Structure 1
């Protein structure tokens, strides 16, 4: 069935919008969809296409046909909900997340690309939070996860100097923070972000509860005092605070932030498996819980037509999406003011993305990708290739075991 195919692909990496899109194309879900979209937080963060010729010397974004869709999925390390209200104290205590004010760092950034051609694979590309990159807006080189906060803080300072009221400062500076992050990702990857989906700590926790937990698998037991993660080896189902601890842990992992990226990819694969196999989006109770979670803690770009997006996905197959990570160098790159960061070469990243958009003919003819990620090895100096760069891409139709 067409609806089944829509569900199978939407659930893989776009959980923040999946239930809304599917509800919109089912008669029984239309009223719920309209109610949800009325209450859903949106922001005008997608700016018009830049000129075709860059005046700053930067790359001209790679652009696929208009039917292709590229989304930036962001997980915020925010202690407030989508409306700016502080998160519950008990949730913050369970997460060991500090004060309700918190930071505005982006802990998770994944670019989701959905091609118009159903014969091509859709893919999710993880951007490690500690990637040392040039931040758009004249901020210089810093960790990628600071782009949002730097753009927001700079705009807030300008608005305060203009004598604007606090509500205006909060609203407009937040928009500028999101735009700074999007522009930075555009520059790093050579892509053009079409849509934006942001989920905070509360939203992530509530969504995992709504679907009845997410199956994951660990190669080894873990115990981390920083994130609170304490899990045995093997397969298990996590939800709520435990799910957050699973995806937030990076201390005690061999490759730090890069291993956490693998955790996040594996979690999204498990989430897709859970939603597709358990009939989540046909269960009225689970739909109600999902809509409640989405409207409390998710922000989408203004004007995203979710109905058209769902229809675009109708011909994609369940296993036709993979998760990968941008090529990286040293994971302990010393920086002047940001501590240790993850080394990234923008030229290598853009070459890697180009291969994802238009795979070489030999790769297109292969039924399965080789276990080593040869593309990443080709674009990096061999002595700087990390172990994490040699693992096989995660297929969203599986529940892989990770460290």
Structure 2
């Protein structure tokens, strides 16, 4: 994840959240119907990622101790869809996480339609970025305009902003789908999105600490059980505040979830880290998968993968990109923070892992097709 997408926001205010909703109008009556839509099948998983023969847990699955939840509210939505796909165009897949602002930041005297909104999108364009920040506005009659932007560092280490495309369109009457046009530099493509999950946020007390948890609800009992397996439901003994955010990366026959845990126990700032959960639906239900189930876990593949990982981190401006190289044990690590994003494997790094705390968090995205034959699993 980019520095501005996690570190800057958390440093400014934990309560603010990583995203602010792009669709404030969805937060009212519709929010009470959270999770009623069925999740569509996600984009096809890479051909080099067969079903796991021996499941390896990619995240803790035991339910942890509950705390009394004093308050719960709708907190946003997750969308999946395509841009430019048609009879004569392959196009690409797109995913959107959008989050409602905390209640204290919602000014009831303001017209929500006129507010400037932000969010985050990611796609699998072959030459595109894996992550975009979105800035835009809602407009009358359920219309919206979202502009893609990305922050990075140039060769001299100075921050730069890259402009992407613009998505302009409208929500359906029930708010469950969105259609419109993506445009960039004179090019234009149609897009279609479907809402496949809603976010809930629970706030309560955990010992002396304030605990805030945000997680998606899909309405699919099996998928929602996977989400619940990632919930922490408590702060550590010496924390005065902690925040747990479970974000949907992909939902369908392959489920990919990212968990971020931020905690403050004193000092100049809190700290945060990532774990993930990845599963594939099979005849026996969802089976957990690890990197060793996606890639051929050989030294040749690991070397190819690490080359791509370090190059990706350098493009994102990570000061200590070589430190992001994986070890063989990471391929089977039960809690290793990787997610599956279309045909890409995305590895997530918290503060201090590939740079100083001030650099924040990073993500490195690698296309499976770029890894070569060494990483293709045997077809037996």
Q: Please, what TM-score do these two structures have when normalized by structure 2?
A: 0.32
Question: Higher helix proportion, which one?
Answer: 1
With normalisation by structure 1, the TM-score equals 0.30
